Amino acid sequence: MHYRRYDYIKKLLHHRGSPYVKVLYGPRGCGKTTILADFAFRMVRRGFPESRILVITFDDPAVPRDAQTVYEGIISRMEGQEETLLILDEVEKLPHFEKVIDRLFLHRHVDIYLSGSGRSVLTPALKKLLPGRIQPLFVFPLSYREYLSGRKANDERFAEYLTESTYPGIDRSRKAVGMEQLKGMVNTALMEQVLLEHPALRASMLDRVVNYIASHAGEPVSLHQMAVALGRAGRPLLKKSVYAYLGALEGSGLLVMAPFIQVADDLGRTVPTAEKACFFYFADPHIGSLYVPDTSRDVQGRLAAAIELCRRFAGISAGKTPYGLVDFITRSQDVETAWQYIPHLKGEEAEKKIRVLQNLSRQYKKRILTLDTVPGEVLGEADPDILVDNLSLWMENKVG
C-alpha cells in the first residue's frame, strides 16, 4: 500500500527554492526515501523538468564513496544555468559529505535536499559550514491519518493502528512477519545509529536501557531512579552514562523524551520537579511491545497521543503542578497548551486529572484526549474552558 504523507510533502513544497539545505532525518525505515520520491514526482507534475532532478542514493553500493568523485559527478550534471533539484538520500554514508554540500551550496542554481537516519546527517561539521542555512525536518513513522491514506476510518482500523507498528514498510497482513521485520529494523538502528556511532557504549547495557524504557513508557521516571535500576546492588550506574545512552537513542530517532517543567496553578504557585525527570516514548509506539508484550489499550492510546503531539508541535514537555501532573505541554508560537490523556472520563482518576486542568494558570489552553466516544457532553457547561476530543477523531484530523 502506498501511504499518503501529505504533511511532509507540503512542508517540502513550502521550502522549495528557499536558500536553505533541506534535511529530512528520523529513524531508519520511517519513509524518508519514499517522501523524497513523492516530492520529486509532484515537482514533475508541476512542470519541473525531470531531466533536472538528480537523485543519488548512498545505500546503493555502486555509488562512489569518494567525496571529490561525487562532487565532480554532480557538477557534470549541472551544466548550464537551469536549476537542478538535487536529492542525496542516506548522505551520511558518504565520508566528508559536509564538504560536498558546502561547495554545492555556492552554486546559485541548485536546490538541495538531504536525508539521513537519525541525527547523523546533522553533523557539527555541516552546521559549522552552513550556519543558519539548514532547514531540518524530522520524519516520524506513520500518523493515523497517513495510515488510513484515504481508507474509511472506523473503530477496527483505529484499534489496528494502536496495536501495529507504524513503520510504513511493515507487513500488516501477517502479524508474526511484521513483528520480525520491526525487530530487524530496531536492531539495525541500535547497531548502526547507536553502537557504531558511539563505540564507548556497550551492547548489553544498551539492551537493558531499552528494556527499562519499554517497561516504563508513558510513566514519569527520574534519571536517578533509572541509574539505580540499571546499576548493580549498591552501585548505581553513573548519571553521565545514563545520559550517554539516552542521548544516543534520541539521536538515532528511536526515542522521544518529554522532560518535566514547572507549571503554575491559577494562584501562580509551582512545585519543584525531580532532577532530570521525564517521560519516555518510542517514535513508533509499538517498539515497546518487542520487549513488553500485552500493553493495555489505554496505555497504547497514551503512547500514540504523545507521538502525534510531537508530530504537530515538534516536541512536548510534561508539567508538574501543586495539584498533580499534566501529561503534555505543547507550544505553538506564543500559545501554550496543557493536555491530559484520560482514556475514560468517569471515575476517580479522571476527576483528579480534570481538576489539575481546572486549577491551571489561565495562560494555558486546556485540552483533554479520551477514548470515550461522546466526549463533548461530559464536562458540558461545568468548564467551558476545557476542550475534550475523542482521540481517534483528533488523530484523524476531523477535530483541531
pTM summary value: 0.92
pLDDT band with cut points at 50, 70 and 90 for residue 266 = confident
Q: Is the dihedral of CA 374, 375, 378, 383 positive or negative?
A: negative
Least confident of 99-113, 173-187, 267-281, 372-386: 372-386
Give the integer Cα–Cα distance in Å for 86 and 52. Answer: 8
- Per-residue pLDDT of 142-188, as tens digits, reads 999 999 998 898 999 999 999 999 999 999 888 899 999 999 999 99
Q: Which helix (H) or strand (E) holds 281?
A: strand 277-282
Cell of 303: 503512547
Find the mean pLDDT for residues 365-380. Answer: 77
Q: What percent of the chain has pLDDT over 90?
A: 76
**Residues of the chain by 3-state class (helix, strand, coil), percent to 5:** 45, 20, 35
Locus of grid cell 533536472: 52
- Per-residue pLDDT of 343-358, as tens digits, reads 999 899 999 999 999 9
- Per-residue pLDDT of 290-336, as tens digits, reads 999 888 999 999 999 999 999 999 889 999 888 899 999 999 888 99
Q: Are 1 and 34 in contact (CB under 8 A)?
A: no
Contact partners, residue 89, CB within 8 Å, separation at least 6: 32, 33, 36, 55, 56, 57, 58, 59, 115
- Per-residue pLDDT of 27-51, as tens digits, reads 999 999 999 999 999 999 999 999 9
Q: Say what the pLDDT of residue 377 is.
A: 52
- In the chain, which segments carry CATH 3.40.50.300? 6-138
Q: Is the pLDDT of residue 251 over 60?
A: yes
Give the integer Cα–Cα distance in Å for 129 and 96. Answer: 12
Tell me the average pLDDT of the chain: 91
Q: Do β-strands 277-282 and 317-321 pair in parallel, antiparallel, or remain unpaired?
A: unpaired
Q: What is the DSSP string of 158-218?
A: HHHHHHS---TTS-SS-HHHHHHHHHHHHHHHIIIIIITT-TTS-HHHHHHHHHHHHHTTT
Q: Is the pLDDT of residue 231 over 60?
A: yes
Q: Say what the pLDDT of residue 265 is.
A: 73
CA atoms within 13 A on the CB side of 306: 29
Q: Say what the pLDDT of residue 42 is.
A: 96
Q: Say what the pLDDT of residue 274 is.
A: 60
Give the integer Cα–Cα distance in Å for 249 and 256. Answer: 9
The angle that helices 32-45 and 6-15 make with each other, rounded to 10 degrees, is 60
Q: Say what the pLDDT of residue 294 is.
A: 81
Give 333: exposed, middle or buried? Use CB within 10 Å, 0-12, 13-18, 19+: exposed
Right CATH number for 6-138 from 2.30.40.10, 1.10.150.530, 3.30.420.10, 3.40.50.300?
A: 3.40.50.300
